Amino acid sequence: MTAPIETTGAAAEAQPEAVLKGVESKRIEGRSLGQIAWLRFRRDKVAVAGAIVVILLVAVAAFSRPLQALLGLDPNNPDQSLIDPNTTLPKGDFGGMSADHPLGVDPKFGRDLLARILEGSWVSLIVAFGATLLSVAIGTVLGVVAGFYRGRVDAFISRMMDVFLAFPLLLFAIAISASLQGGAFGMEGLPLHISVLIFVIGFFNWPYMGRIVRAQTLSLREREFVDAARGMGARGPFILFRELLPNLVGPVIVYSTLLIPSNILFEAALSFLGVGIQPPQASWGGMLNQAVKYYEVDPQYMIVPGLAIFVTVLAFNLLGDGLRDALDPRSR
């Protein structure tokens, strides 16, 4: 029978050090919510690809004029030598594609399509971003006020949302845009057209953002940190702007990235109908409008702006889906 092995005090004290041997070199650090969201987003390869395309599109739109000057392009410079006088169609195959005009030229005028796509990019993105900012500002403020104060305030704002959502938005936008084409508010031409589009699209789309923010606020107002702020004597405005709004940043960012592509499509639709950006200023919707009469004999003229809209909208949607999954993993 073996005698039990007795451990001395020194050996007993050495055991924890032996267990933790090698671990002391690895430092364990906590991660913030932003770091966790970034790690989730980085794992989504499709969303990362969408983000890269969005960054490239924004860069191209921001530097469209310098790019045109660098490449020697002019979106409004006609070249009749590239047009067949008998058919008014571009000479050559695929809409006149060549080394000097990689995307071809437009019928009747012979203007370079690459230059017009670059010129139309900043118009579409300015309208989309401006309208989104307006919708987010109005919808966030009214949504958080409705969700926090409840009662009559909530009922009034909710009914106002219902009224705006019941508007035939496209018809109303056409009427407003058409009536302000000549000049208004001391503006005319392209600045007026862009301002009208931003107002019409942004002002009548805020209820979508307002409903999302209101629903999130109804959930947040019952959380412990809001009760703690009330217990410390904080009043309504302080709780709204210091406690609730910072916790609504995630949903607002996600929905904003999903709202931008819908605004791009709305601007393209209004320009296609002839009440948006007016020629000779290039716009993707306007190019599609001009391509309707040529799509059977020159499909290239419709494919190029159509692909520009498709790629832009798809990239923003992929980015929005990735941000939603990263900021709210429960949505998976």
Residue 20 has pLDDT above 60, yes or no: no
Q: pLDDT tens across 39-80, in order?
A: 888 898 999 999 999 999 999 999 998 988 888 888 888 888
Mean pLDDT calculated for residue range 124-139: 94
Distance CA 327, CA 308 (A): 29
Q: pLDDT tens across 208-228, in order?
A: 899 999 998 888 888 888 878
Question: Residues with Cβ < 8 Å from 70, sequence gap 6 or more?
Answer: none
DSSP 89: S
| 76 vs 24: which has the higher pLDDT | 76
Q: Which of 145, 256, 253 is nearest to 202 (CA)?
A: 256
> Which pLDDT score, from 0 to 100, does residue 182 have?
66
Residue 167 has pLDDT above 70, yes or no: yes
> Which pLDDT score, from 0 to 100, does residue 319 have?
92
Mean pLDDT across the chain: 83
Q: Which residues of 301-321 are buried (b: 16+ CB within 10 A; e: fewer)?
A: bbbbbbebbeebbebbbbbbb
Q: pLDDT tens across 232-248, in order?
A: 877 778 888 888 888 88
The pLDDT confidence band at residue 81, using thresholds 50, 70 and 90, is confident
> Which CATH superfamily groups domain 43-81+90-327?
MetI-like (1.10.3720.10)
Q: Collapse the DSSP code of 83 into the 3-class scheme (helix H, G, I; strand E, B; otherwise coil) and give the result.
A: strand
Q: Which of 324, 210, 211, 200 is nearest to 258 (CA)?
A: 324
The pLDDT confidence band at residue 99, using thresholds 50, 70 and 90, is confident
> Which pLDDT score, from 0 to 100, does residue 275 have?
81
> Which pLDDT score, from 0 to 100, does residue 26 have?
54
User: What are phi and psi for residue 233, nearest 5 degrees?
Assistant: 95, 10
Distance CA 276, CA 193 (A): 7
**pTM, to two decimals:** 0.83
The pLDDT confidence band at residue 125, using thresholds 50, 70 and 90, is very high
Q: What is the token pair recorded at 226?
A: 């809001």
Q: For a pLDDT cut of 90, what percent of the chain falls above it? A: 31
> Which pLDDT score, from 0 to 100, does residue 138 have?
94
Decide: 305 and 36 in contact? Cβ < 8 Å: no
Q: pLDDT tens across 293-330, in order?
A: 888 888 888 999 999 999 999 999 999 888 888 876 55
Burial class (CB in 10 A: 0-12, 13-18, 19+), 58: middle
Rg, the chain, Cα only: 28
How many whole angstroms from its chain centre is CA 129?
A: 7
The pLDDT confidence band at residue 260, using thresholds 50, 70 and 90, is very high
> Which pLDDT score, from 0 to 100, does residue 246 have?
83
Q: For a pLDDT cut of 70, what percent of the chain falls above it? A: 86
Residue 19 forms beta bridges with which residues? none
Decide: 92 and 99 in contact? Cβ < 8 Å: no
> Which pLDDT score, from 0 to 100, does residue 181 have?
65
Q: Which residue has the tokens 């959380």?
A: 223
> Which pLDDT score, from 0 to 100, does residue 87 have?
85
